[in-house]
Amino acid sequence: MAASTTGVVFIHACPSAIGPHVEWALAGVLGRPCKLEWTAQPAAPGQLRAEASWVGPVGMAARLAASLRAWPMLRFEVTENGTNSTDGERLAYVPGRGFHRSAVSANGDIVVSEERLRGLLARARSTEEYAHGLHELLGSSWDAELEAYRTAGDNSPVTLFHKVV
């Protein structure tokens, strides 16, 4: 049996017509009906936002994020907390930029592996290239684009999901 973990799905911006499709996609991964509590997204007038905590097996975050990729107009993040034997992760999606996947430590810091850093050192031909590459590894551009949507959602309701295991 797979180890169990927890995480959060943050739908930062979603056209209202797509909301039911997002719920169906998440339900398909969770194996149970999914009803999100949608609220207006102040950072994108006419769009909605929702958050949902989930409980399920390790690897659930990637499956949830993959289920949402059918709608390239969404802005979202999916997190998965680490366990005793696995790292956590965060998957962020921004239209026009695509996905960014980061390993996350127990305290919430982004973790960049030694091999990825060695690869960057081997490729970078200048300090500017190195700095740009480091920002790419950290997902800085995704964070910058999502920050306005995150803060606009402070104090919003959160739904709790459980994966049928």
Q: Render pLDDT for 42-77 as a digit per residue (tens, 0 to 9).
A: 999 999 999 999 999 999 999 999 999 999 999 999
d(CA 35, CA 80): 20
> 160: buried, middle or exposed (CB in 10 Å: 19+, 13-18, 0-12)?
exposed
Low-confidence ranges of the chain (pLDDT < 50): 158, 160, 162-165
Neighbours of 70 (CB within 10 A): 11
What is the structure's pLDDT at 62?
97
What is the structure's pLDDT at 103?
94
- pTM as predicted: 0.86
d(CA 4, CA 25): 21
What is the structure's pLDDT at 108?
85
DSSP string, 120-154: HHHH--SHHHHHHHHHHHHTHHHHHHHHHHHHHTT
d(CA 154, CA 89): 21
d(CA 158, CA 36): 8
Sequence spans of domains, the chain: 4-110+144-158
Q: Are 77 and 34 in contact (CB under 8 A)?
A: no
Query: Strands 47-57 and 158-162: what pairing?
Result: parallel
